[in-house]
Amino acid sequence: MKKRPIIEPFRIKVVEPIRMTRAPERRRILEAARYNLFGVHADDVIVDLLTDSGTGAMSAEQWAGMIRGDESYAGAPSFYRFDAVVRELTGMSFIFPTHQGRAAERIFCDVLPLRDKVVLSNGLFDTTRANIEAAGASGFDLPREDALGGTQAFGGDIDLAKLDRALEEHGDRVALVVMTVTNNTVGGQAVSLANLRAVAERVRSITPAKRPILLLDACRFAENAFRIASDEPAERGRPLAEIARAMFDLADVFTMSAKKDAIVNTGGILGVRDQALADAIRVDLIRTEGFPTYGGLAGRDLEAIAQGLREVLDPSYLEYRFAASRYLASALQAAGWPVITPAAAHAVYIDAGAALPHLAPADLPGQSVACALYLAGGIRTCEIGTLMFGAAAEGKRQLVRLAIPRRVYTQSHIDYVAAVGAEIAEVRAKLPGMRILEEPRCLRHFTAAMAPLSPFPDFE
Ligand code: F0G
């Protein structure tokens, strides 16, 4: 029997028009934005794949929750509904809402003694690293050597041999071990439950006085749980809520950007088991975000998060989500683009360095592909390479991330992206290198001004 297509498991109730643009107009827009896609107005974008963060579509039940939201300063019922859902999902004892994931990170780093300490991770997200460094600690990423090799199911795992060496080398200076699920800094690859267990065992074998805290950066926990249920032989077919709970059970603390797998437009969560830590966090939260029953959020946001967390573990939603990215990844591969595999759920990554061998990393091949996608089709993506990381990108791949917002685009939008990708693939040898004209002191990819070294080919 012919295999049936995996359909979007939702109907559309509210729509937003997309303003269609043509190539000559987009060329003017990109020049005015000085070839920085963060400077392009969203109205001038046809398919926006800049990020999967805060860009998802809420369900009817989430909007219903928004109406139910109670805005009392203290003790709002919306908080207690949120608290019950998050505690059931994670098993953590103390749950704190924050305005974004990075606020949860910042508060946690504030309450720990981190000066001159070491943080080990499978891959720190850039705000996590920045918060750790601002607290006076050093962060080390210990990904598997073959993380992006496409030959293993769980490229997001931490390299256990490297972890053992680092624990030995840094001893009781190691204050924190951070496991990011999925591992956004290495192509969004998933982390196996076996790897999380092995990390937890190592941490627990250290005497309590010197034991580091194990933190789960859990913003894409549902996508990670789905990969465990699909591809980890010992876990295959286990209920997703059970797998998610098993992941959280291994951690002492979690931070979560609710803008991803809670499918809301803003929000973050910090959860801990330890009473003394919770007391310190509460004081910091009140000082910087808000009273503990709302954190940096409105009551209505708490309702939307609680409902989003109930919806995200639906297997048909996650099946559709992975099907969309796999479909895009294989269409781009068929067009000749080297793509990181297996495809993550939240994004497809093009290896622009490998695709454009005529350009050196300093010529920003990723930014050249990102600009071409905009010029040819009004598609906005994000470079993850030398533009983003500067000298720290040396030896790393030059990637372009096509992030897929949750429940926003249909298969025909994805077909459109694949078709534009195929058009560019045909002229990729002609894509120009880029130069940075002006850049700020840090986080340059957000605001740097750039220019191509020679004109882009004409599209359309
Ligand atoms: N941790 C991870 C793994 C993330 O991917 C992000 C955000 C954060 C923490 C911070 O959360 O944005 O709510 O403050 N990632 C977005 C992205 C921005 O595009 O990947 P936040």
Residue in the block written with tokens 């809301």: 264
> Are residue 389 and residue 446 in the same domain, yes or no?
yes
Question: Count of CB atoms within 10 A of residue 110's CB?
Answer: 18
Question: Model confidence at 354, in pLDDT bands (50, 70, 90)?
Answer: very high
418 lies in the same domain as 296: no
SS3 labels along 136-200: CCEEEECECCCCCCCCCCCCCCECHHHHHHHHHHHHHHEEEEEEECCEHHHCCECCCHHHHHHHH
User: What confidence category does residue 442 fall into, taking pLDDT thresholds of 50, 70 and 90?
Assistant: confident
Q: Which atom of ligand 1 is nearest to the CA of 259?
A: 13
Tell me: do 191 and 324 sit in the same domain: no
On whether both 96 and 238 belong to a single domain, the answer is: yes
What are the tens digits of pLDDT across the range 38-71?
Answer: 999 999 999 999 999 999 999 999 999 999 999 9
Residue 340 within any structural domain of the chain:
yes
pLDDT for the residue numbered 30: 98
Residue 429 CA to ligand 1 center (angstroms) comes to: 33
Mean pLDDT of 401-423: 98
Q: Which of 158, 121, 161, 153 is nearest to 137 (CA)?
A: 121
User: How many other C-beta atoms are found inside a 10 Å radius of the C-beta of residue 455?
Assistant: 9
Instruction: Tell how far CA 288 is from the center of its chain.
Output: 25
Report how far apart, in Å, the C-alpha atoms of 189 and of each of 120, 340, 347, 440 are.
18, 9, 10, 30
What was the pLDDT predicted at 394? 83
Residue-wise pLDDT tens digits, 180-230: 999 998 899 999 999 999 999 999 999 999 999 999 999 999 999 999 999
Residue range(s) defining the domain that contains residue 283: 60-311
Q: Does ligand 1 have an atom closer than 6 angstroms to the CB of 268?
A: yes
Number of domains in the chain: 2
- For helices 365-377 and 411-426, give the axis angle rounded to 10 degrees: 120
Whether residues 206 and 295 share a domain: the answer is yes
Say if 180 falls within a structural domain: yes
| The pLDDT of residue 103 is above 90 | yes
Distance from Cα 258 to the centre of ligand 1, integer Å: 9
**For residue 174, is it within any domain?**
yes
Same domain, 156 and 242: yes
217 Cβ below 6 A of ligand 1: yes
Going by pLDDT thresholds of 50, 70 and 90, the confidence category of residue 449 is: very high
pLDDT tens per residue, range 2-20: 889 999 999 999 999 999 9
Distance CA 220, CA 423 (A): 32
Three-class DSSP category at 120: strand
Whole-model pTM: value is 0.96
pLDDT reported for residue 311: 98
Residues 222, 185: one domain? yes
Is residue 392 located within the same domain as residue 428? Answer: yes
99 CB within 6 A, ligand 1:
no
CA of 174 to the centre of ligand 1 (A): 24
Instruction: Say how many C-beta atoms besides its own lie within 10 A of residue 74's C-beta.
Output: 9
**Considering the domain boundaries, does residue 169 fall inside one?**
yes
pLDDT (average), residues 428-443: 94
Which pLDDT tens digit goes with each residue over 256-296? 999 999 999 999 999 999 999 999 999 999 999 999 999 99
Q: Give 250's pLDDT tier (boundaries 50, 70, 90).
A: very high
